[in-house]
Amino acid sequence: MKVLVLAGGGDVGGAKTHIVSAFELINRREPDSCLMASFRDGDFAQTARERGIPTIVINSGNPLKDFKTLKRIAVSGEYDIIHSHGARANVMAMLLKRYVKAQTVTTVHSDYKLDYLGRPLANITYGFANRVALRRIDYLIGVTDATACMLTERGFAPDRVFTIHNGIEITPDAPIRASADAQVPVTIGIAARLNPVKDVAALIRAFAKLSDLNVRLRVAGDGEEMDALKSLAAELNVSGRVEFLGWVSDMDGFYSTLNINALCSISETFPYALLEGVKAGLATVSSRVGGVAQMIDDGVNGFLFDAGDVDALSAALRRYVMDAELRAVHGSKLREKVAERFSLNAMVDTQAEIYRAILRKAKKRVKRYGVAVCGAYGMGNVGDESILGGILAAIREADADIPVYVLSRSPRQTRNVHRVRSVHTFNMFSFFRLAGKVKVYLNGGGSLIQDQTSRRSLWFYLYTIMTAKLRGAKVFMYGCGIGPVSRGMNRRLAGKIINRYADVITLREDGSVAELTALGVTKPTVKLAADPVFGLSLAADADADVRSNRRIAVALREWPGMSAKIPEFARVLEYAYAVYGLSPLFIPIDRRDGAVAEMVAARLPNTVPREFTPPPDTPEAAAAAMSQARIALSARLHGLIFGAAVGLPLIGIVYDPKVKNFLDYIGQPNYIDLGAVSFDALKAALDTSVKNFSAPNAARLRALEQVNRVTLKELLA
């Protein structure tokens, strides 16, 4: 693998450390695998050469001539990857795309919208050119998960975005700097470019609040705010205790003079200014930005504060100044964590895997490639979102590189949460285009083929099945439930379209097999499986013993006839607490379920404690809430599914045949039709669940769910 690295050449601070450290190690591992082109001579290029990185400088003073030189090098070198860093390098990489077969990738070291903060002319020119280039480069690497999320939130395709964390080489047996030494005064330090985004002014203001302590501040760095910061120090009467050192070449020497390392930025990724302080064993105080919270556990191995909160910063510094032992303990713990999780080797391993993934994607870029997923997504229902999570996990297991497109009622939310491409469910122009380019159309999970909630939704899903097939995609109805389809015309239409246009159907329970047969569906391959949720890792705790728990999980929903049964539910929950000591835990599977829970709770006497969880936003959160209970009482199918996943006996309220079908399929026939709900019926079901504790066989359900995944792999092969 050959890599051409493009760098502006004026890179300083963390960006410089990242680039030079990474490619020094890459070059050591694979000599002559990379060439670095710097567009400026000076400290950056000189450091790269000293580290053994093959480096050329392209800086004739004529941008057109420089590009011609670069193009000649890129074409003749037959590089696999062109990896750019910074605005000028990104523009050059964008222009090179016309002339080379190499894949282009850039590392985003900061929030590119803030790179020229306080410099409006530079932002209009260089900033604008960089933003255009970023949209045209093939792939982007965000330094931290937060940066990658920022990119997807701004509309970059999630399958074009990777994550890497800055790494630093920390020798395990190297002595940790004795930050507990009784130095007088205690020294706080910061290494940063002196521009607004670093907010060094906040540190000076916080430092000024420590005037009653024997402490000093050292500032390493230069920039446009130098004079303003010196004036601020004078205004606050701390000039005599603040040293402005300008640019410091010996950073190890700088950190050796400190007791406390600080960072106050309003925007960061994964700053080397902290990592280098960690290497020295320093106690650390940082603003809660970028990926810093992945490194620092607040109060455990350092202190975090909200950017701009001078009082919180000053309080954290005061604690460290007054407690040498705490500085030593936190410094040691943070150093151990960074050495284990954020090493230079780990960073370079990640970068090498990103390169391999990019080249795999390039080889797989054929005319028909990808998966389109359609279901009831983006509507605030954690059950449906969990189905999507299970489906996406199966797709990535089958092919980690394949592009995925999800039809969602909230495309932006789906893109950001699930890291997939997404279009609006009813954007039929986009769907028509997608159906012509993907390999598989996945009609995904849930009870989509039914006409109880709406005839239009049934017609919509049937239309997508037909269109996808006619546009050349394979149609896979994945881990779904079928029915009920009640109206005669709808039954004939559903049977005809599914029979003609579906290729494979996997079902989450056997009642749907009978419904398909009744609809006259005989041609597609039909397999029994389980709900996609059982493929998620949350089911790994299903064998935990929940019998000591003192709650009953309650997941009710709005439905015709439900309001008339509110008093009956309240009475049985009062009984559950009086007889078995089980207090209700209301879990809204859908964000609209809270109203029903409130109505039931309002009927309970004050002697019965009750708890409400917020609507879970992930399947893990829903399962964690369920795992606090001993029994689940649910009119939501996915309330029962989450309960089954964590090993709870289930009491189902059947408002739709899918609830009965599911409970029969998993051997939990303790259910009541909504119309038959009464206190006596609920009491009998509760007594049965408590006295004859019998949890679902979650291991069997996990095994059945694998049928979905195996079938998907076969279709994508």
List the chain domain ranges: 3-164, 186-341, 367-535, 547-694
Predicted local confidence at residue 171, as pLDDT? 67
Maximal CA-CA distance, the chain: 89
- Fill in the DSSP letter of residue 592: G
pLDDT reading at 268 higher than 60 = yes
* 525-528, strands of its sheet edge to edge: 421-424, 404-408, 371-374, 440-449, 474-482, 504-507, 525-528
* pLDDT band at 286; cut points 50, 70, 90: very high
| Tens-place pLDDT, residues 310-329 | 999 999 999 999 999 999 99
- 172 pLDDT tier (thresholds 50, 70, 90): low
Thinking of the domain 3-164, which architecture would CATH place it in?
3-Layer(aba) Sandwich (3.40)
Q: Please name which of 322, 220, 299 lies closest in space to residue 263, comparing C-alpha atoms.
A: 220
Residue 62 reports pLDDT greater than 80: yes
Q: What is the pTM of this model?
A: 0.78
Q: Which one, of 551, 559, 567, 573, lies nearest residue 677 by Cα?
A: 567
Sign of CA dihedral 525, 529, 533, 534: negative
pLDDT band of residue 373 (cuts 50, 70, 90) is very high
For the stretch 175-228, pLDDT in tens is 444 444 555 789 999 999 898 989 999 999 999 999 999 999 999 999 899 999
The answer to whether 266 touches 200, Cβ cutoff 8 Å, is no
Q: Note the pLDDT of residue 183.
A: 53
pLDDT at 604 over 60: yes
Mean pLDDT lowest for which of 127-131, 179-183, 389-393, 428-432?
179-183
* Chain Cα centroid distance, residue 179: 36
CA distances, 702 to each of 533, 535, 698, 706 (Å): 9, 6, 6, 7
Pick the CATH number of 186-341 from 3.90.930.60, 2.60.40.10, 3.90.230.10, 3.40.50.2000: 3.40.50.2000
Residue 173 is predicted with a pLDDT of: 52
pLDDT at 590: 93
Average pLDDT for residues 668-697, to the nearest whole number? 94
| pLDDT value for 175 | 47
Q: Which residues contact 708 (CB under 8 A, 6 or more apart)?
A: 394, 478, 479, 506, 529, 530, 532, 535
pLDDT at 433 over 90: yes
In the CATH hierarchy, which fold is given to the domain comprising 547-694?
Answer: Rossmann fold (3.40.50)
Pick the CATH number of 367-535 from 3.30.1300.10, 3.20.20.70, 3.40.50.11030, 3.40.50.11720: 3.40.50.11720
Instruction: Read off the pLDDT of residues 506-529 as tens digits, 9 standing for 90 and up.
Output: 999 999 999 999 999 999 999 999
* H or E, element range at 85: strand 81-85
pLDDT of amino acid 178: 44
Least confident of 316-325, 535-544, 682-691: 535-544
Mean per-residue pLDDT, 33-37? 94
Residue 339 pLDDT greater than 80, yes or no: yes
d(CA 243, CA 224): 17
Q: Regarding predicted confidence, which is higher, 257 or 291?
A: 257
**Is pLDDT at 644 greater than 50 in this prediction?**
yes
Q: pLDDT above 90 covers what percent of the chain? A: 75
**CA distances from residue 581 to 168, 406, 568, 578, 690 in whole angstroms, order as listed:** 54, 44, 18, 6, 11
Which residues is 38 bridged to in the sheet?
Answer: 7, 57
- pLDDT tens-place string over residues 464-503: 999 999 999 999 999 999 999 999 999 999 999 999 999 9
User: Which residue type, as a one-letter code, is found at position 193?
Assistant: R
Instruction: Supply the pLDDT for residue 541.
Output: 45
Q: Are 3-164 and 547-694 equal in CATH topology? A: yes
- Rounded mean pLDDT of the chain? 91
